[in-house]
Structure 1
Amino acid sequence: MRFLKFGILALALLSAAACSQKKFYNYRGPEVTQVVVNKGERRLHLLHHNKVLESYDIGLGFAPRGHKVVEGDGKTPEGLYYIDRRNPNSKFHLSIGVSYPNPYDRANAQAMGKSPGGDIFIHGRGDNYPKGAPRDWTAGCIAVSDKQIRDIYSMVQDGTPIIITP
């Protein structure tokens, strides 16, 4: 009787897991040593040293040209940053944080009497993706599809450098 109850419980849990969309993958390939974002090409590359492991099409902030200077400017930052956090419960499916603003960004915005903003992420679309939105629709983040952010989330570790170029 005890084994029957255990068997039924195990079967129920396996069935529930099979029906749900898998949010996290296990990545067992080469370490991602650097993320490179080329804003002009609208491409994100995951590299292991000098070898490109994966590349993705991206969307940017709604005002994609130029470096992010102040909160609300709709620009995606440019420069060297780091992956500094992750959010498995993001309203945009999954997200990994970019360390913007750095000390230079803060000083530059402060000199103008403004806030540099923050909360820059690489994220999916989630349920909040505006239907029919243009390619560059975020407030300054880097957007990919939900499937792509699952891959990126599993491959990129906190502390990984990210270089964002014009």
Structure 2
Amino acid sequence: MSFLPGGAVPQAQPVARSTRANPLLADAVLVKKGQRRLYLLHHGKPFRTYRVSLGIDPVGHKERRGDNRTPEGHYLIDWRNPNSRFHRSLHISYPNEQDRLYAARQGWDPGGMIMIHGQPHGRGPGAVRDLIAYKDWTEGCIAVSNLAIDEIWRFVPNGTPIEIRP
């Protein structure tokens, strides 16, 4: 046991808790494509989990523009768009240098503009529920419900690393 000056015993520190006034920020994002899950992590532990929809052809790593795949690998959340054609969007830094080099060797355009985003504007609640629960429908992006993107927007600062696993 350690003592503070004057013989005081240190008090146990409470675990950080998220409140509206002081949200717990993610220091990493993890996506498991096979499970259709996105995890917000703080010190390596998930504190939020969301159901996701992926690209129409979800198996495998995105290689080129138009392949409708969601990339796999290590990236950053590098900027956000509050006025996108979807309810909010966070940009994923795909393609990284490795992706660009691979595509160049193949003579392909690697594509880009991969986002985590909400639902398209103008969809009714039933249609949104059906898209999220049952279908991969994006061109390679990671789609979540509008409620989920509102939380992700609040908890994930620009510069946060994201790992996308198969």
- Structure 1 length-normalised TM: 0.80
Match of 2:11 in 1: none
Q: Does 1:29 align with 2:7?
A: no
d(CA) in 2 for partners of 1:40, 1:92: 24
In the alignment, which of 80, 91, 95 is matched to residue 97 of structure 1? 91
Query: How does 1:13-162 map onto structure 2 within 5 Å?
Result: 28-127=22-121, 131=127, 135-162=135-162
Kindly provide the CA deviation profile for residues 124-159 of structure 1, in whole angstroms up to 9, marking residues without a partner as x: 003266946551000000000011101101110000
Q: Give, in angstroms, the shift of residue 42 of structure 1.
A: 0.2
d(CA) in 1 for partners of 2:36, 2:27: 20
Say which SS state the counterpart of residue 127 (structure 1) adopts.
coil
Matched to 1:116, the amino acid is P
Q: Does 1:164 align with 2:158?
A: no
Kindly provide the CA deviation profile for residues 10-51 of structure 1, in whole angstroms up to 9, marking residues without a partner as x: xxxxxxxxxxxxxxxx66222211000000000000000122
Taking only aligned residues, the RMSD between alpha carbons, in angstroms, comes to 1.6
Identity %, equivalent residues: 49
Matched to 2:63, the amino acid is V
Match of 2:3 in 1: none
d(CA) in 2 for partners of 1:27, 1:55: 21
Q: Against the structure 1 CA distance between its residues 66 and 128, is the aligned structure 2 distance closer, same or farther, given a 3 Å change threshold?
A: farther
d(CA) in 2 for partners of 1:112, 1:118: 16
Identify which range, 104-113 or 133-142, moves more after superposition: 133-142
Kindly provide the CA deviation profile for residues 80-109 of structure 1, in whole angstroms up to 9, marking residues without a partner as x: 000011000011110000000001100111
Say which SS state the counterpart of residue 148 (structure 1) adopts.
helix
* Structure 2 portions without partners, runs of 5+: 1-19
Say which SS state the counterpart of residue 35 (structure 2) adopts.
coil
Say which SS state the counterpart of residue 109 (structure 2) adopts.
coil
* Structure 1 portions without partners, runs of 5+: 1-25
d(CA) in 2 for partners of 1:41, 1:128: 28
Runs of 4 or more above 4 Å deviation: 128-134
